[in-house]
Structure 1
Amino acid sequence: MSEQGSAVDNEKRDLECPTLQEPSPEEEQLPPTARQEIGKVISTNYTSFMAGMNDAAIGVLIPYLQPAYNIGLMTVSFVYLVNFAGWLSASFTNIHVCSRVGTGGTLILGAMIQTFGYALMLWKPPFPLFAAAFFFTGMGEAFQDAQANSFIITIRNPHRWLGLLHAIYGVGTVVSPLVANTMASRTPYWHYYYLITMCLGIINITLLAWTFRQGLFRPNVQGAKDTANSELKATLTSKTVWILNGFFLLYVGAEVTAGGWLVEFLVSVRHGKASRVGYIASAFWSGFALGRVALAEVTHRWGERRMIFVYLAIALAMQLMFWLIPNIAANAVTVCILGFFIGPFYPVGLFVLTKIVPKELHIGALGFTASLGQAGSAAFPFMTGAVASKAGVEVLQPIMVGLLVGIAVFWALIPKQKSYS
């Protein structure tokens, strides 16, 4: 073999997914046991639950944030913009951080940053500091999301495990509005919700530290630090990765925009009572979580490409019904069905990514698309709030329709699957 060919092979080996955790010579006598792997699955699922607890709360708390700080919708929307900055920062630094401290180290670092954000929020600081805390929760969540997905995708039958991982996220989004709305509607201490999330965050740090203790804060692959730049460059120059980024950006934007502004829409436009319609957010997220579990096998059996288009058609119909039927009970039903059919998009998209992107780019592509795609959870809710502050919350509906159409366009542009696994 020529020296050039050997160099190429060596570079490919260096780029291969570090989440497979190639052991160091000292660890070769201690291969991971089934119990250790189960522990890692549990802890990464818990990080997903924490992400759900984070993302679904702010939409329920908006009607209470405004009078507490005496601010309008435009000012409230800045929390989403700051959150976007945190996600964006993580999307470009994730590969470098992971190359230095490994999967477990990056997960723990993310959990610590996220928990620090909650520590800033829980005492109801001045609004600029309260908003700034969302940078830390966004960045911390982004690091964890990227690494959790990168780890889960290495397990056998990843479409099932990804469905479970993101269904657990859905469970967090169901629990979050119930807890936040109950606290905010029955007590003047709505900000104590973040005391709860801070305590859960401490559990998250502890659980991750225990389950990823073997080789903690060490690179997963020897020489990963040296190849981080080339891996990031290869990821950023992949047309397929950018198409998937567009799909994830719009999808996550639609998901969090719907859940985040749903309560405010029902209060301002449908004239519902905040303490009651706040629970309808849980109906949306319940459908969302259930869809990720119930549709995982159906989607895989009948083909991911085909079924996402079917789900999009149903989701668009539900969104139009929600818009055009001025009845809160009917809105609760349609938004639940909407959540059910858009729920599988994220895990399905990640699974498809592993089939159309070369294996040596999996870790970079998964981390980058998970982080940058999730930035839509901040960018589009901010845009919606900014427009709503001028034109009213009614703009939620045409924005949602536009996002769903945009998702369909990006999904159509994704190349057909050819396995690289």
Structure 2
Amino acid sequence: MAASSTATIGSYELTSRAIYEPPAAAVREGSRILDETRRLGSRYGEDYSDGGVESVAAQNASAELAESWKYPRQNVFRTGAAFWSLLTSGANDAAYGALIPYLEEYYNLSYIIVSLVFLSPFVGYILAAVLNNTLHRRIGQRGIGITCGICHILAYIIIAVHPPYPVLVLAYCLAGFGNGISDAAWNAWIGNLDRANETLGFLHAFYGVGGVISPLIATNMIAKADLPWYTFYYVMIGLATIELVSCTWAFWPNGPEVYRQTMDASNEDNQGMKEALFKLPFARVTWLCAAFLLCYVGVEVSVCGWIVQFMIRVRKAENYPAGMTSMGFWLGLAVGRAVLGFVTPLLGVKVAVSVKILARLLEGSLAAFGGSGAAILPFAVGAIAQAKGVKTLQPIILAFLTALLGLWLCLPRIGRKQD
């Protein structure tokens, strides 16, 4: 009886485990689901790896400790440094439009030759896109902050001494490289923070703020104070110096080893990049977004770059009010980008997840690729204006806006109810 009793107890114990212990497949699937919920910022999920249920309070605490613009504390300074860096980039890009009439007169240039100030940063942006990952692995965010600041300072010092025009074009290439690596690095870094949509909105709004103050300062210095055009770049040297100091100090702990550890731990970088670029349906969305960015940024810089000349030559405006039209464009851009950060989270989970994945894998490269549009389209506008006059700006912009609408309609539809 004793043996029988023991057997019964053993049988009962085995049966109990069979009922309550999940099979190996369930364990693996549960672990996968848990990992996915954690990655997507879920506040709850079952931990099948140890057969228990995670504490909701523990998960809430974990969510609260997610890296954001204000946690850990040093991220506040890093976010501020990134904002200032984009402000400097915006001031750089917006200056072209305000200065083109004066460059044309000072160097006695045609439209197509003066348009090289738009095309030359293209070289810098392409280099930034190609070298983005390599630079992060070699010098880290610390090195990116130092490099972009030095590129800007050197470029603005060269421009401030008003060299021969070919040297000026090369200086704009250097400034374009600084813009490209900073734009890519800070977009990708902020894109991986908690509540990235809102923070990215403010990041891009600061780019717009730079675009507001640049033509305002340049036009007042040249048209009102009667200073030479190149004195504006003394101001840009000051902005770039603050950028160098702030980015170096804020991102000093983030050397190359930090970036390598992060990417090696995820073990997703190369495979994810290949899928996003070459595997359908991901590749379709990636390249549509890239084309959209190229056209959009091209339209943006074409408008603010040539609107001053358009107002002077076609609308017969004086230099000062013509310069202010560029400022108005950038003011609208700054407000729009700040507000958009709070609107995009309302689009649904799938859109937010897509943005998060792109931010992880491609946003740096796409930002640099999109910046190339800031060089190509404005140069094309200048070439056409050389043959047909600057009055062609309006129909060219309308044509590209139509193309933008077409690209937008080609993106896959995502219904909110399916989220």
| TM bucket, shorter chain | 0.7 to 0.9
**Aligned partner letter, 1:250:** C
Instruction: Measure the CA separation in 2 of the matches of 1:277 and 1:289.
Output: 20
Q: How many residues align?
A: 349
Q: Is the 8 A contact 2:104 2:114 kept in 1?
A: yes
Alignment match, 2:221: 183
Indicate if the aligned counterparts of 2:199 and 2:341 stay in contact, CA closer than 8 A. Answer: no
Deviation at 1:385, TM superposition (A): 0.6
1:195-249 superposed Cα distances (whole Å, 9 cap, x missing partner): 2112211111110111111133434133858987666545542332111101101
In the alignment, structure 1 residue 162 sits paired with structure 2 residue 200: yes
Instruction: Evaluate the alpha carbon distance shift between residue 227 and residue 130 of structure 1 in structure 2; reply closer, same or farther with a 3 A threshold.
Output: farther
In our comparison, the structure showing a higher alpha carbon Rg is 2
**Among 389, 394, 400, the residue aligned to 2:391:** 394
Contact 1:356-1:417 at 8 Å conserved across structures: no
Say whether 1:278 aligns with 2:342: no
The answer to whether the 8 Å contact 2:116/2:379 transfers is yes
Q: 2:95 matched to which residue of 1?
A: 57
Structure 1: distance between partners of 2:341 and 2:154: 34
For structure 2, list consecutive stretches of 5 or more residues without a partner in the other structure.
1-23, 33-38, 40-69
Specify the alignment match of 2:310 in structure 1.
265
2:118 to 73, 76, 80: 80
C-alpha RMSD of the superposition: 3.0
1:252 equivalent to 2:297? Answer yes
Aligned to 1:342: none
Question: Could you tell me how far apart the structure 1 residues matched to 2:273 and 2:148 are?
Answer: 20
From the superposition, tell whether residues 129 and 353 of structure 1 become closer, same or farther in structure 2 (CA, over 3 Å): farther
Q: In the aligned structure 1, how far is the partner of 2:209 from the partner of 2:71?
A: 28
The 8 Å contact of residues 136 and 256 in structure 2, kept in 1 or not, is answered as no
Corresponding letter in the other structure for 2:112: M
> Would the alpha carbon gap of residues 261 and 221 (structure 1) be closer, same or farther in structure 2, given more than 3 Å must change?
same
Query: 1:27: which partner in 2?
Result: none
Q: Deviations over 1:76-120 (max 9, x none)?
A: 001111111211121121112112222332233222222221121
User: 2 CA distance for matches of 1:234 and 1:193?
Assistant: 45
- Alpha-carbon contact 2:192-2:360 (below 8 Å) kept: no
Residue 405 of structure 2 corresponds to residue 366 of structure 1: no
Conserved in 2, the CA contact under 8 Å of 1:98 and 1:219? Answer: no
Distance between the aligned counterparts of 1:355 and 1:223, measured in 2?
A: 20
The alpha-carbon deviation at position 57 of structure 1 amounts to 0.5
- The alignment partner of 2:261 has SS state of coil
User: Distance in 2 between the 1:101 and 1:418 partners?
Assistant: 42
| 3-state SS, counterpart of residue 175 of structure 1 | helix
Distance in 1 between the 2:133 and 2:273 partners? 7
Instruction: Give SS of 2:109's match.
Output: coil
Going from structure 1 to structure 2, the CA distance change for 1:396 and 1:205 (only over 3 Å counts) comes to: same
Q: 1:5-404 maps to which residues of 2 (within 5 A)?
A: 34-185=72-223, 186-222=225-261, 224=263, 233-237=274-278, 238-301=283-346, 303=347, 355-356=353-354, 359=357, 362-404=359-401
Change (3 A) 1:267 1:209: same
> SS where residue 193 of structure 2 aligns?
coil
Label 1:399 to 1:89 Cα distance change in 2 as closer, same or farther (>3 A): same
1:108 to 1:364, Cα distance in 2 relative to 1, 3 A: farther
Measured against aligned partners, the alpha-carbon deviations of 1:122-153 in whole angstroms (never above 9, x if no partner) come to 11000000011111111110100011111111
Query: Cα distance, 1:377 vs. partner?
Result: 0.9
Normalising by structure 2, we get a TM-score of 0.76
- CA deviations on 1:146-178 (whole Å, 9 max, x unpaired) are 111111112222111111111111111100001
CA shift, 1:352, in A, is 8.4
Of stretches 77-86 and 230-239 in structure 1, the one that deviates more from structure 2 is 230-239
Equivalent residue number for residue 17 of structure 2: none
CA contact under 8 A between 1:100 and 1:219: conserved in structure 2?
A: no
Q: Given the two structures, how large is their TM-score scaled by the length of structure 1?
A: 0.76
Deviation at 1:262, TM superposition (A): 0.6
2:402 match: 405
Residues 300-327 of structure 1, C-alpha deviations (whole Å, 9 max, x = no match): 43x38xxxxxxxxxxxxxxxxxxxxxxx
Shift of 1:275: 2.2
Higher relative contact order (CA 8 A, sep 6+): 1
More deviation, 207-216/98-107 = 98-107
